[in-house]
Each structure stands twice: as C-alpha cells, then as structure tokens.
Structure 1
Amino acid sequence: MFFFRFGFSLLLILMFIFHYFLFFMSPHPLWNQAGGSEERPFLKFEAENISNYTALLLSRDGGTLYVGAREALFALSSNLSFLPGREYQELLWSADAERKQQCSFKGKDPQRDCQNYIKILLPLSSSRLITCGTGAFSPVCTYINVENFTLARNRKGNVLLEDGKGRCPFDPNFKSTALVVDGELYTGTVSSFQGNDPAISRSQSLRPTKTESSLNWLQDPAFVASAYIPESLGSLQGDDDKIYFFFRETGQEFEFFENTIVSRIARICKGDEGGERVLQQRWTSFLKAQLLCSRPDDGFPFNVLQDVFTLSPSPQDWRDTLFYGVFTSQWHRGATEGSAVCVFTMNDVQRVFSGLYKEVNRETQQWYTVTHPVPTPRPGACITNSARERKINSSLQLPDRVLNFLKDHFLMDGQVRSHLLLLQPQARYQRMAVHRVPGLHHTYDVLFLGTGDGRLHKAVSVGPRVHIIEELQIFSSGQPVQNLLLDTHRGLLYAASHSGVVQVPVANCSLYRSCGDCLLARDPYCAWSGSSCKPVSLYQPELAARPWIQDIEGANAKDLCSISPVMGRSFVPTAEKPCEQVQFQPNTVNTLPCPLLSNLATRLWLLNGAPVNASASCHVLPTGDLLLVGSQQLGEFQCWSLEEGFQQLVASYCPEVAEDRVADQTDGDASVPVVISTSRVSAPAGGQASLGADKSYWKEFLVMCTLFVLAVLFALLFLLYRHRDSMKVFLKQGECASVHPKTCPVVLPPETRPLNGLGPPSAPLDHRGYQALSDSPPGARVFSESEKRPLSIQDSVVEVSPVCPRPRVRLGSEIRDSVV
C-alpha cells in the first residue's frame, strides 16, 4: 500500500511539473513588441573585443555621442555609426604595464580588475573633454581634444596624465558621480585603495575642497547621481548656486539588528571655499538629509536608492525642479524583489535643509533633535545678503563657533518625503531618464526605466499614477542597463550595457494601426490624425483636415473613436477583418493564436457569434490561444480585444479539416489555406502567428527524464532510510555467519554483558600488574610493588564470550581487564 501511494503521489508531481514546463515555461511575447522587430526597431553599436560601455556624453549639437568603455573611448555619429558598415572614431586608452603589474601584485584579478574602466567623461570646455578611468586600481585622468578626438599630450609628446584619486574610484564596481560646473569638477567617490575613504570633492579649481573624513560625514556611501541647481537666479536673499549629491549609505541614527541602508541627499554651495582656521579646505556648507520613499498604505520603505534624474524646466524656473528617484528595498531580495519610483519637489528639499538639526550623544551614540538656539549665521547655509550685512562675504570669514557647530550637526532632522508614482513588483529598475513632452492639450513627463535584466520600460506620469506604455528587450537578460541618455531634440534614447550601446527612438507611432490602439496606448508622443497614428510634433492645426485626437488621462477610445459600447451577452459585433482560411489535420490538437498589443486588454473568443464555452474539444489556454481538440466544433472563430470600454477584432479564423479540401487543392487554386500541423502554437513577439511552425519538446523531454531519475533515486534513498534498522541487523548476521559459521553471537541481557561491552583486546594493553601466563619469561624476575599484591579471588570474575573461546578475567579495581 505504501509503494502504491508513494508512486501515485510521484506521478502527480511529475504531471504537474510537465504541465508547468509546457504552458508556463515556454517563451511568450513581451508586453508590447520585442526590441529590434520591424514594428519597434532600434540600432546597436558594439566594437570587437570591447566591453563595459558605461560612460555616455552627447555633444551640444547632438550629432556626436561620446562613449567610454573598458580601455577605449568612441566618438559615434548619431546618424551613421549605428548603421551597418558604420563609421566611428576609436581611441584606445589602456593602463600601462607597470600599473597592471602593481595591481596584480596587490592581489587583484589581472583580467577583470587590472584594466582601465572609463568612469568619467565630461565636457570641460568647448574644445576639451576630461575623462578618468580606474587605471588598474590606480585612478588616472586625462584630456581629449574634441576637434580631432585625440588624447592631450605634453611638450615631450607623452600623454598628459593626472592623478585621479578623489575623482575616480579604484574599483570599477564602485559607484561614483561627477559633474562640471563653470570648469570645476565636482565628484563623489572613494579616494582609497580599500574603498573606505569616501569623499565629495572639488578639483580642477584654484580652491580645492572636500569633505572631512575624520568627522564621519559619510558612512560607506554609494553615489548614484548629482545635480547643479542655479538657485542664485531670481533669489531675493542673494542665495548661492548649489550642487546636490544623491547616494545611499549606512544610517547611524537607526538601531536595528542589521545595518539599515538610508537614501540621502547632500548639499554644498558653489561659492564655498572652506574655513580660515576651522575646516580648512573642507566644506563649510555640507548638509545631508534622508530621502523617504515608501508605500502610502502600510509605510513599507524602499530605502535603497538606485538612480536619480533631475528634471528642471529651465534655469530660471529652478523652483519647479523635480527629482525622480528609483528605489528598491533591502528587505526585498531574490525573485520577490521589486522597485518603486518616487518624485521629490524642490520646495520639500529646501524646507528640510531649512529645518532642525540632529546631534549625537557621544556616550550613548544615540541621535537627538537639536531644540536649542543655533549660532548665526545659520550653519551650513550659503553666503546670503543677511551674512553680507554682517560683513561676511566668504566662507573664510565665518565665525569658528558656526563651523564647530557644523562639524557635529551635518544631519538634518527632517525627512524629504516623496510622492509614490509607480510600484513595480516584477522588475528591478536601475537607471532612469525623464522627458517632458508637450501633448495636444497638456504637458506630460515620460519616464524611461532600465531594468537589471536588459529591458526598457516606457511610462507616462498621469496625475497621481504612472501608466506603462511599452516594454522593450534591448539587451540580453543577463546584462543590466548601466546608463541612459536622452537626446530630446532628435527624439532618441541611448542605453549602455556590457555588450554595447543601443539607439532607440522615443516613440514609433506607426505601431498603433487603429484609433483605439493609438488612444489606449496613452503615448504623449502620438495622436490619431483621422487615418493613422502620427507624432504630435507633426501636428499643424491650420493644415489638418480634422482635429487630431489624444486622451492621455482617460483613454476614452469608445467615444472619441466613435466605437459602440461594450457588447452584451447577446450582442454580436460586426467583423471588419476577412476570415482566414486554415486547415486542420484530422484527429489532432491545434491552437488558434490571438496576439494582443496591450497587456491591459482582455480576450473574448466567439464561435459563430456566440462566446466560446470551455469543453473537452475547445479550451482557452493561459496564453490566450484557443485550443481545439479534433474537429467536432467548426465554424468562424473570432478573437476580440476589450480594454477601457473599447473593442476591436484581432483575428478571425475559418478552420476546415484537411481531407475536405483535397479535391479543391487539385483544381490549382492559387489561394492555398494555411495548414496547422502542430500540437501547440504560441504567438511570436512580432504579433503574427506562425501557424505552420512546429514546436520541439526536446528540452522538456530532457527535463522530464532528469526529474524521473532524481525521483527514482529519492525513492530508493527514502526506502533505505526508513528500513535502516532492519538493514543493520541483516548486515550484522551476515558478518557473523561469514566469520564463525557454527557459532552465532547471543545478545546477553544488560546485567550479564561485560562492563566494557567489547571483545578481547586486539593488542596487549599497557597495564601495571598485567600478566600474560604464556608470555612469562623463564628464570627469576624482579616484581614491582603492584605485582606483589595478592590477587583477590573474590573480586575476580571469569567470563566466556561465545565469539571468542578464551576466557576474560576481571580483577577488581586494582587490576583491570586481563586475559588469562
């Protein structure tokens, strides 16, 4: 009975696994169109033997894209370099042999670590670029002449190199950020080989300044982005421009069982020159605050900042700046890891930096809110008109009491709260770019989100929520999107990864072939012109025959496209597509595909105008395809798409049995129907069903064979483990029979068994008083004191083992086990 139940359970498990692989592990279409298809094309650049494309920079005119990779830099033409037979400029910049040798000597991998990874590529002036690389764990910087795309050289003709410590990280895996403001380089990175000395610094300047490492202003940070905000424009207080840094670090103000990661925003003033006596060549305006992104319903925090994009309408409108952030959670890992997109306003940031400070109790190491008055001018503030009235025109003139207060009060008490736009449990976002797009009626923010598995999500912010427009697979699943760069003038998006750089148009309105698809996509780049879906940039009201249609907020395709309401149960819609003639082989299992452009739409299958009911011969698969078994039900099958009250016919099939058409095919008719001869068909990403493509289940067969072998081994191990006691007894009896065929050991009761439970010793034991009668040498002997003691016959016990015929003598406590 046990074997029957076990075998039946094992059979059920194998059947479930087989169906899982058959229906759910097969490749399915993406949300919209696969990248690189005819409907959604993109172009890719990759050079031979070059990898790790990380740094991207666009020229001012947008005609040239500068790319930094591992030991190479490229100047790509946005029009020609991404086409077949491309033309581009390449500049090799590898670490010298001495640096690589020292890197290898320090224990780093020669092939992976001891290379020059380009981390910084920024415009220093109109004619020069500055670039920095890891230099085989010895950071180095140099300059590039824009005119001929060559490395700058000194008078001797050697490449002009500068020390990159404090500008570029040592380890290529470390995150860093950099930007150039008025010819000065601001960076956030680590400045030591071990990576334990983080710093926010300013170089390429006559006033180099950095954070003070001894004050623990930064706690193992990972810098993700930086931004320059010209807050001096239109400031009534005479404020200074500011540079903001975004990073994540270990939060010392929180006490948990494990280190808590906290997302931060730090601020420094552009005119900061350090202190005169206190904080010399150190920031006197460094302040940091927490960025809070959490679920509004339960407050679950997304505390790991991945990327930040700063969206500023114009320098004069800097008060309307928005900071879009991508967050994950340190408590979401593995397959359940998700992402969140939050937006922060400039007003919220300024309010926190103008609020209360935090201070730490050095005895208890706990942080408290500072409620007592603070020195004036306000610590951490830029030089404003109020400070100038006190004759303080520079940070060098700040009082010592203000700087000493700032040394221990660099953390703000308030939190910069955000508005949660998107919660995505099925993707890990790593990079982000935002484009403000003018639509027909309003302006919208379009988000481009790069995932950790090579996908690109395009979404639009509509009021308090975000609608995902489409998804593109631009890199292989094992390659995360490492960088995103927008060319807003040409309508292009550049994405970088390990294998290359991809150029993607921000929109392809021709993808939406009907009014309903055009409106339901909610793509701000597109609008319905009356005959096709076209880019909004081409709309000219005075030349248009009729007003174009666009509805991003409501997507009311039912009314705007003059479509009738959603059908009732007795309503039979009018088909607009001709019925496709398909043939079935008799007594086979076939599928009719129904590809949908939108994942938000639902399918409705009709047979001769009536909804299809699940039966033994007709069933709708989880993929949306219609499964037909045999040829009991034939007629006109229609698949309708339903979304937001809008309906449209996707596919129409008229299947016939192949035997009924043999006579017609011999007449030489030119229109030969498609023959379906496979047991299951999945719609490809392109949207057109490959009705005649055969599917191989060789992988599934191998998987099932492997699972069967493992199941059998598991069953054998289980049986052996369950009957292990019986096997032990059986093995003992077999061993006894082989050694002593005529005698079998009798298991004695515990009170009659020897105290040590063992047989005779295999080797003589070194005991005092031990005498082996057969080993006594002839002649006189000198006996020891213990040997002279008389043997107590009453204390001795003679035992005979049934296995060993020789007797054993136990002689009290003085003389232990002996064999006589």
Structure 2
Amino acid sequence: MRPLPFCLFWLLGLVSSQKIPRLKLVPKDALWSAFPETESPKAVFYDVDSRQVLIGGRGMLWVLTFTDSEITQQNITLKAEEKAEKDCQRKNASREVNCDNLIRVIEKWDKKILVCGTNAGAPKCWFLINTTTWEKKNEGQVITLLGENIVPALDSQNAVAIAVEGSLYSALSGNKSSIHRSYGTKKGIKTEDSWLGNAEFVGAAALAEKNPSLDEIFFFYNEVNQTAGLDEEPYRAQLGRVCKVDMGGKPILTDSWSTFLKARLVCGHPHEPLRFHHLRDAFVFTKDGKDKAVLYGVFSSTWGSSAVCSYSMDRISSIFKTSTFKGATGSIPIPRPGTCVSPDSYHVLPRQTLTFIKDHPELDTVIYPDEEHPLYILRNNDTYTRVVVDRVQDASNESYDVLFLGTAKGKIHKVLRSKEQTVIIAEISPFKEQEPISSMILDSSRGYLYVSTRAEVTRLPLFDCEQYSENCWKCVLARDPYCGWDVEERKCSAVSQSKNSTASRLLQSLDSTNTTHVCEAAEEKLVQEALKKVSVDPTSYIYLPCPLRSHHAIYTWVKDDKTYPCSMDEQSCTLRFGESTPMDQGVFRCTAKEEGYQEEITAFKVTLNGGKISEVSLVVVATGILFLTITILLL
C-alpha cells in the first residue's frame, strides 16, 4: 500500500478537527437589553472604573449600568452641529447621504472618555466626564476636537482607535486608508499614501517591552485585492506595525512614520491550498508578558467557512526584525529600516534608511500560524465575527486559554485550548434575534463578558457552573476550566483564580484521556427515568426520541444486546421503525458514552397489539422539549 502524502494527512487532520459545540446552552443569569429598532450601534466601550458600557448610536450615547439584577440606561444626546448638518444637506440634496452624527469611536484617553462621530460629514470629537457630562470651557462652551483623522466622514467606512501613554493612535478604512498618531503628548504623524491599499481595519493592540523605547503598536486589517481574478482571493489580511517612540524622519519622512512596516497574515499551511485570507477580528492576549503574548484571529473564506488561528507575538516581532523586504534589491541599510530606537535617533536616521522604508514598507515573509495550521475550522452554516480570550487557572493552578467567539447568527462559542486539542465547550444563545455579534468585551477581573449585536446587548457570567451542576460527571465532562465538582458541597462550583486557594479540592479533568476515574470517589447512583410504556400496531411507524445531552457523546439504542441505528439531528438520536428497521417489542434503551462514562438517557417498553387504529398525538417526555406524533393502538 502506498503511503499517504503529507498534504492528505494534513487535510484529514483538518477534517477531524472540524468542531461542533459539546453543549448548547441558554444562559440563566444573563442581564439583557434591546436597542430601538431604528438604531444600529457602531461603537461599544466598557469603562472598567465605572463598570459601565457606553454605546454609540445616531446622535445619541447610551450609558448602561449593570448591577447584580438589572440594567439601568441613561441617554446622552449628541446631535450633529447645526452648521455641519446644513452644509451636508446642501451638498447632498440629490443623494442619500446620512447627515446625522453617527458615533464611531469611544476610547478612554487622558483620564477622560473621548467620543467621536461623523458629525454630518465633518467628523468631530467630544470629551465625556464621569460618563454623564460633556467637558466644557470656563465660559460654558463644549470642548471639541477635529476628528477627520479618527473617524471617517461616511458611515460605511470602519475606524479603529487605541490610546497609549497619553497619545491617540487611529486608523481609517477606505480608499484613502491611513494610520495616524492623532493627538497627545507626541508629534502627530501618519502613513504615506502609497503604503496602504484600500484597507479595512478590524483592530489594534499595543505590545510593551522591558525597554519602553522598543514598545510597538500593531494594526490588523484587510487590503482589498482590486485586481483579483476569478480564482484569486478578494482580500489579503495584513498586520501593520509602528514604534511608539517614532517621531518621524527628517527630511524625507518629516510628518510620516519612519518605522512603519507591514506583513501579510495567512491562516493555513504554507504549502497547501486550504487557506483563509479574510480577517474578521483579532485579539492580542498579553496577560503574562510579551514573550507569552498570542495573537488570535478569526478568518473567513470565499466558500463560507471560518477558521481560528493563533500566532506567537514573539515570533511575529522576530520576523519584523529579520525578514527581507518585498521588491527590494541589494543590501539592507544600517540601521535596519523599521527598527525601534531611542526617541532622539529618529531625527538623525540616515537618508538611505528613510528612502528604503518609504519605498519598501512590506516584508517578504508571510506570517503563518503557530504549527502552520488553524486551531480548527467551523463548517456549520455559521461564521465567526468576533474573538476575545481569557487565561484561566484550573483547579491545579495550570493555565489555559479560553476563547469566546461570536458568530454571524448571534451565538457565542466557548472554546478551551489545551496542549492536546481545541474543544468547543458550549454554544451559548443569549439573544432573541439571530443578528451577527458586533462587539465582545471581557472583564476577566470581575468575571463577565459583555456582548452586543445591532439589536441587543447582554452581560454573561464567565463562571456559569450551575449549567453543569446535576452531578459530578456532568461537571467534569463539561471540561470548563472555570468550574469543578465540589465533593463536600455536592455541586459544580467556580474555581478560584487566586493561587494556593482551596480550588485544589475540586474535581476537574481538562485532559480528555484522563476522565475515567475522576468522579469515582464522588459518584452517586443516578436516578433513572421511569420506563415509558407504548402500545402500537405492528404496521404503524413509531419514533422513539433520545435527547442529546452532549453533542460529543456516542449514542446507542439497544434491546436484548441488539444494537439499533438512530437518526441524528440537533436535538435527538431518534430510533425510527419502518421498512428498514421492522417493528419489534421489548425494552429499548438509549445510552450515551463519552470519555469512559456511560449513562442511560431514556428507555421505552414497546408492546405490539392488534385492534382499531387511530391517529393520536402522543407527547413523549424525554427532555421536555421534543414532541412527536405517532400512530398508536387504542386498547
């Protein structure tokens, strides 16, 4: 037999790593609120100090305060300036142009909250004090800033902003894409027009070094491939980087970045065709320092699939320091273009270094994910739109990354990344409408996840252990690092995130190969459901439902040691009698087996009788959610 080529092994690996959520949950303790139908929020900000969520709308800022039991809402009006609105209406009388003030950026800067809007095509920013009052001058006039470098004039274009040590960094999407240091303690500088090609920005992150002069700021975006053919990708994901201390380079780049570099980002294997090029969202996890910082990205493909990829930021920084430059020939100037140096050195950079970076800002090296393949691929008629990441200590003080991924259908996937594999712990459905997740903000210190769509907003608890509290096995098999089985309290409890805590007394196993004996010491005899009795005619068609408690378990119908096939759907492993499976009588039991644990889910005693046939609606109580109509015999 010929050995399989490497590419086929890799593709088979991807197939086996296609994920489905183990559990499908509806949160019990989530706080929820809806937006007015006419609104479509474009900016969401969480203020850690006040514990308030600020949401930008059309001429309005909503301030939501979350308590333990309710959400209170305060509306702050922020209309477009009268002159700007009149100018907009006059210029666009014959075109459908939005002349409102659409809030696009909310960011904490210099101990105040900066709110920027389109202002009827003349972008402007305002300062919010105590999340209730606009900052004013002594004579009572509201203080404003010009916002053309922070937010776009048009609602259709995206904007990204990040505040770093008193300076505001911003990126504008569209035909005239740019990255600016807009305001603050450092000189305002920007990208050259030729460096960005019709960019679509999705995020930004600051990466601190031990030496502050080496701190970097990264921007994540897509460039539209306007010359793409039928078989080429319409988007190319890119990663742009600047140095925090960059002051521009005289005389060639006086008002422009002298350290800007960019590199292409791909989710997939370098030598295989299955790749993902459209970056939907990016999140840089930096809790444990730069050497352990990880970039998580969610990508989509032209054929409708999503993939999750991770990249070591230490490896990315190394590529920026060592890669050759696209389109460049000859030797690389010294100092190396794009190198972060002391602030005073930017005024004396050699002309050849500045000329080189002006003409060749892109690296030759394409950045592929760690281990050169996605963590997993999602193929279930849904795509990912957002990602945030938390690092959690389990009951043994081992650290794990937990990903929260928002989907285009308003779901949230809670994903455990362990050393051995990546597992979707659960799919959470917190919203009434199936709208794409547009914003996700994590407050890990207080244990909450704030999620919004264009229609709704909610706060979810990270430690939602009551969902698994039926018994020890339900708790342990959930593989949720936030939760463990408390033997003394006989319930699934939150794992403390402080070291040397009593969490070690909790039973937990995040390794799927080592769950068989975890619950033996705490195992209780489970209460079996009452045997359901059904009398049927031998010629009728009957359906016996077995509710799915875990989508990762293997379900089996058995009668007298004989196994029967079942039909799987989202809710049940249903045993269907018919031509292919003749009717029989006896006790039919449905069991679920997962990682060494086997449980009987339901059982039916079927009796065959003769007599008058009638159609009746029979409610089969298996999960409380499944109702089937079957033909039975009236005795």
Q: Structure 2 vs 1, CA of residues 110 and 506 (structure 1 numbering), >3 Å: closer, same or farther?
A: farther
* Structure with bigger gyration radius: 1
How far apart, in 2, do the equivalents of 1:167 and 1:539 lie? Answer: 40
How far apart, in 2, do the equivalents of 1:555 and 1:508 lie? Answer: 24
Q: Structure 2 vs 1, CA of residues 652 and 557 (structure 1 numbering), >3 Å: closer, same or farther?
A: farther
For residue 143 of structure 1, what is the aligned residue in structure 2?
127
Q: Give TM-score, length-normalised by structure 1.
A: 0.66
1:229 touches 1:242 (CA, 8 Å); kept in 2?
A: yes
Instruction: Tell me the SS of whatever aligns to 2:265.
Output: strand
Post-superposition offset of 1:189:
0.6
Q: Structure 2 vs 1, CA of residues 42 and 575 (structure 1 numbering), >3 Å: closer, same or farther?
A: closer
2:292 touches 2:312 (CA, 8 Å); kept in 1?
A: yes
For residue 514 of structure 2, what is the aligned residue in structure 1?
556
Residue 76 of structure 1, aligned match among 64, 89, 97: 64
**Residues 1:610 and 2:561 aligned together:** yes
Structure that is richer in strand per residue: 2
For residue 23 of structure 2, what is the aligned residue in structure 1?
32
Instruction: Tell me the SS of whatever aligns to 1:414.
Output: coil
Deviation digits for residues 234-272 of structure 1 (CA, Å, limit 9, x no counterpart): x4xx84221111111146999997575221111111111
Matched residue type, 2:556: L
Instruction: Tell me the SS of whatever aligns to 1:381.
Output: coil
Post-superposition offset of 1:88:
2.5
Equivalent pairs counted in the alignment come to 593
Q: Structure 2 vs 1, CA of residues 627 and 153 (structure 1 numbering), >3 Å: closer, same or farther?
A: same
**Residues 1:291 and 2:250 aligned together:** no
Residue 517 of structure 1, aligned match among 461, 474, 499: 474
Instruction: Tell me the SS of whatever aligns to 1:354.
Output: helix
Post-superposition offset of 1:504:
1.3
Residue 57 of structure 1, aligned match among 26, 29, 45: 45
For residue 342 of structure 1, what is the aligned residue in structure 2?
309
How far apart, in 1, do the equivalents of 2:542 and 2:239 lie? Answer: 58
Post-superposition offset of 1:647:
0.8
**What does residue range 673-752 of structure 1 map to in structure 2 within 5 Å?**
677-678=616-617, 687-691=623-627
Deviation digits for residues 130-172 of structure 1 (CA, Å, limit 9, x no counterpart): 01112233322111111x6122233453433332101012232
Deviation digits for residues 46-82 of structure 1 (CA, Å, limit 9, x no counterpart): 24456323423222346322222333222222215x7
1:304 touches 1:327 (CA, 8 Å); kept in 2?
A: yes
**What does residue range 175-324 of structure 1 map to in structure 2 within 5 Å?**
175-190=158-173, 195-205=174-184, 207-214=186-193, 216-231=194-209, 233=210, 235=211, 239-250=213-224, 260-295=234-269, 298-314=272-288, 317-324=289-296
Instruction: Tell me the SS of whatever aligns to 2:107.
Output: strand
For residue 91 of structure 1, what is the aligned residue in structure 2?
76
Post-superposition offset of 1:439:
0.6
Tell me, which stretches of 5 or more residues in structure 2 are unaligned? 1-19, 631-635
How far apart, in 1, do the equivalents of 2:350 and 2:296 lie? Answer: 37
Post-superposition offset of 1:594:
1.6
Residue 591 of structure 1, aligned match among 543, 552, 561: 543
Instruction: Tell me the SS of whatever aligns to 1:474.
Output: coil
How far apart, in 2, do the equivalents of 1:252 and 1:117 lie? Answer: 29
Q: CA RMSD for the aligned pairs?
A: 3.6
How far apart, in 1, do the equivalents of 2:496 and 2:430 lie? Answer: 26
How far apart, in 2, do the equivalents of 1:296 and 1:682 lie? Answer: 52
**What does residue range 370-519 of structure 1 map to in structure 2 within 5 Å?**
370=329, 372-384=330-342, 393-419=344-370, 420-426=374-380, 427-441=382-396, 442-463=398-419, 465-475=421-431, 478-512=434-468, 513-519=470-476
How far apart, in 2, do the equivalents of 1:79 and 1:45 lie? Answer: 13
Matched residue type, 1:171: L
Runs of 4+ in 1 over 6 A off after TM superposition: 108-112, 252-257, 538-544, 585-588, 629-632, 656-660, 679-683
1:197 touches 1:213 (CA, 8 Å); kept in 2?
A: no
State the percentage of identical aligned residues: 27
Deviation digits for residues 335-391 of structure 1 (CA, Å, limit 9, x no counterpart): xx11111111122212211124435xxxxxxx3x53x2232222221224xxxxxxx
Q: Structure 2 vs 1, CA of residues 518 and 142 (structure 1 numbering), >3 Å: closer, same or farther?
A: same
Q: Structure 2 vs 1, CA of residues 113 and 645 (structure 1 numbering), >3 Å: closer, same or farther?
A: farther
Q: Structure 2 vs 1, CA of residues 312 and 583 (structure 1 numbering), >3 Å: closer, same or farther?
A: same
Post-superposition offset of 1:281:
1.4
Matched residue type, 1:495: V
Matched residue type, 1:445: D
Q: Structure 2 vs 1, CA of residues 143 and 585 (structure 1 numbering), >3 Å: closer, same or farther?
A: farther
2:556 touches 2:564 (CA, 8 Å); kept in 1?
A: no
Q: Structure 2 vs 1, CA of residues 611 and 153 (structure 1 numbering), >3 Å: closer, same or farther?
A: farther
1:327 touches 1:340 (CA, 8 Å); kept in 2?
A: yes
Q: Structure 2 vs 1, CA of residues 581 and 380 (structure 1 numbering), >3 Å: closer, same or farther?
A: closer
2:496 touches 2:502 (CA, 8 Å); kept in 1?
A: no
How far apart, in 2, do the equivalents of 1:98 and 1:585 lie? Answer: 79
Matched residue type, 1:383: V
For residue 16 of structure 1, what is the aligned residue in structure 2?
none
For residue 54 of structure 2, what is the aligned residue in structure 1?
66
Matched residue type, 1:406: I
Range with bigger deviation, 158-167 or 95-104 = 95-104
Deviation digits for residues 414-440 of structure 1 (CA, Å, limit 9, x no counterpart): 122212212112231111000000012
Query: Which structure would you say has the larger RCO, counting Cα contacts within 8 Å and 6 or more residues apart?
Result: 2
Instruction: Tell me the SS of whatever aligns to 2:307.
Output: strand
For residue 641 of structure 1, what is the aligned residue in structure 2?
592
1:95 touches 1:136 (CA, 8 Å); kept in 2?
A: yes
Instruction: Tell me the SS of whatever aligns to 2:475.
Output: helix
How far apart, in 2, do the equivalents of 1:474 and 1:280 lie? Answer: 50
Q: Structure 2 vs 1, CA of residues 101 and 71 (structure 1 numbering), >3 Å: closer, same or farther?
A: same
Instruction: Tell me the SS of whatever aligns to 2:155.
Output: coil
Deviation digits for residues 310-354 of structure 1 (CA, Å, limit 9, x no counterpart): 10124xx2222111111112x32xxxx111111111222122111
How far apart, in 1, do the equivalents of 2:310 and 2:621 lie? Answer: 39
Post-superposition offset of 1:652:
3.0
1:444 touches 1:461 (CA, 8 Å); kept in 2?
A: yes
For residue 529 of structure 1, what is the aligned residue in structure 2?
486
1:217 touches 1:410 (CA, 8 Å); kept in 2?
A: yes
Matched residue type, 2:334: T
Q: Structure 2 vs 1, CA of residues 223 and 449 (structure 1 numbering), >3 Å: closer, same or farther?
A: same
Q: Structure 2 vs 1, CA of residues 584 and 491 (structure 1 numbering), >3 Å: closer, same or farther?
A: farther
Matched residue type, 1:514: N
1:62 touches 1:78 (CA, 8 Å); kept in 2?
A: no
For residue 7 of structure 2, what is the aligned residue in structure 1?
none
How far apart, in 1, do the equivalents of 2:502 and 2:24 lie? Answer: 33
For residue 17 of structure 2, what is the aligned residue in structure 1?
none
Structure that is richer in helix per residue: 1
For residue 6 of structure 2, what is the aligned residue in structure 1?
none
Tell me, which stretches of 5 or more residues in structure 1 are unaligned? 1-28, 360-366, 385-391, 564-573, 661-675, 696-820
Q: Structure 2 vs 1, CA of residues 120 and 230 (structure 1 numbering), >3 Å: closer, same or farther?
A: same
For residue 351 of structure 1, what is the aligned residue in structure 2?
318
Matched residue type, 1:124: W
